[in-house]
Structure 1
Amino acid sequence: MMRVRRSFSALRESLSPNRLGPLALLGTALMGAGMLAGCSSTPTTYYVLSPQPGAMISPMQAMNLPQAIEVLTPSTTARLDRDGLLRVMSDSQDHMVPAAAWSEPLNEMVGHTLAANLRQRLPGHVVFSQNDSVGVKAGAYLELSLSRFEQDKSGHAIIVGVMSAHRADAPTEQARAVNVQWVSSQSVDTKQPVDMVKVLGEGVGVLSDQAIQLLSSLPPMPVRGGSSHL
């Protein structure tokens, strides 16, 4: 029994902080720092694009547009298919903005924002997004394919892609398409994600104006029974 007590006493003494010295103190400090870092992590802020007001079309332009327009869900490249806000660094590396994310998939958000902008610019027309529960058939479709939707290495917000439009049941050759490339006039503060989101929303507003021009350029449907089908 004496040997067991002495062995336990020797083990307790060998594990005491005085015997372990700096190594024990370092381990304790690292554990404390890890716990503090976990408690102080910055929560994620979710951002949404805001619709942008624009000039409403004239009655003459409105007559040439279908009554119902469907904005198909935009397509995005794989590098844009992420939850976070994308920023390109000076070393040509993609960088996700820390603690910032979109409130819904980027392609769906751009499509919803584009549709909201068109509704404001096209009073009297029905404009809706793909998969919306709407009991009317669209007379024209608007499509957008995005390859860039981010902040570039110079600090400017940039949107690049292809926009197309076609009437329902119209021949493929009557579809219209344009390249879109928008760059903000001034650089955006890299430390303020909300500024980046605001400026990108303004870019979607510019694309909305271009979308109306594209829809207006569609050839009219052939005359059927003495009247044209819009």
Structure 2
Amino acid sequence: MQRPFWHFIQSTRPMAAGVAVASLLALSGCGSTDPTLYSLAPVPAAQAGLVGTGMPAVIEVRTPGVSPSLDRQSIVGVQDDYSVTPSAGAAWSEPLAPMLGHVLATDLQQRLPGVSVFAQNDATSAPAQGFVEVEITRFARDATGIVHLAGSLSVHRAGDPEHALSVPLALTATPAGSGMRAMVASLSQLTGQVADMAAARLAALPPAPQPALHK
């Protein structure tokens, strides 16, 4: 028996309502915004470092160790003693550890003319004669707006880790503004200061051990 036309209209109302809800959800999804991506940038050296005769000719910057609380796509905007607060709508353009390693290698290359500097895992045919290792435990603002880079820095010759020169890192900078771009700029400046410290310690390494002479 053929159903009345009014029954057909009633049966299609739930379907039409579902389509309308799905359309609204799709439109709301289209209105969502992707996070703004930020990158660290090399900072030019005020003056080139002095490269002594004992400086390793080829230096590898090891991929920095980054605290798990910082090792995330969302940028940590505030890092205090008891809290870590990611910034909504702001993310790193690539994983933080390798990005930091490449920027540090570029900074160090600018400070050591005539020396070959590369980041770990970069394609190179020359074996490293010296290493730069960095551990990062703090890399964000505090509650007052001051930007911090904390951790440790170590340099040593290849095959001679027992004579490594190590120093704790506790660097701060006052950003030019309150926005994320200003914070990332300050973190880039502090990374350049780490390169300054690494260059000085590489120049202060003890002489390379001489091979034993066989009688």
- Give the alignment's TM-score, normalised by structure 2: 0.83
Task: Return the offset for 1:158.
Answer: 1.1
My pick for the range that moved more, 88-97 or 115-124, is 88-97
**2:41 alignment counterpart:** 50
C-alpha deviations, 1:180-224, integer Å up to 9, x for none? 0111134741xx222221111111011110111221221112344
Task: Return the offset for 1:38.
Answer: 2.1
Do the aligned partners of 1:155 and 1:188 also contact (CA within 8 Å) in 2?
no
- The 1:37/1:212 distance shift into structure 2, 3 A limit, reads same
Equivalent residues in 2 for 1:11-50, closer than 5 Å: 12=10, 34-50=25-41
Q: Distance in 2 between matches of 1:71 and 1:110?
A: 10
Count of equivalent residues: 209
C-alpha deviations, 1:76-131, integer Å up to 9, x for none? 11111111210227895322222221121101011000000111111111000111
The alignment partner of 2:162 has SS state of helix
**1:153 alignment counterpart:** 143
- The 1:75/1:53 distance shift into structure 2, 3 A limit, reads same
- The 1:65/1:6 distance shift into structure 2, 3 A limit, reads closer
Is 2:130 the counterpart of 1:140? yes
The alignment partner of 1:146 has SS state of strand
Task: Return the offset for 1:35.
Answer: 5.0
Bigger Rg over Cα = 1
- The 1:186/1:46 distance shift into structure 2, 3 A limit, reads closer
Q: Distance in 2 between matches of 1:168 and 1:6?
A: 87
Q: What RMSD in Å do the two structures reach over aligned CA positions?
A: 3.1
**2:172 alignment counterpart:** 183
The partner residue of 1:201 within 188, 191, 194 is: 188
Task: Identify the structure with the greater helix proportion.
Answer: 1
C-alpha deviations, 1:36-94, integer Å up to 9, x for none? 53222122222211110112112xx4323111111011111111111121022789532
Is 2:114 the counterpart of 1:124? yes
* AA aligned opposite 2:148: I
**Structure 1, unpaired ranges of 5+:** 17-23
**Structure 2, unpaired ranges of 5+:** none
**1:20 alignment counterpart:** none
* AA aligned opposite 1:208: A
The alignment partner of 2:52 has SS state of helix
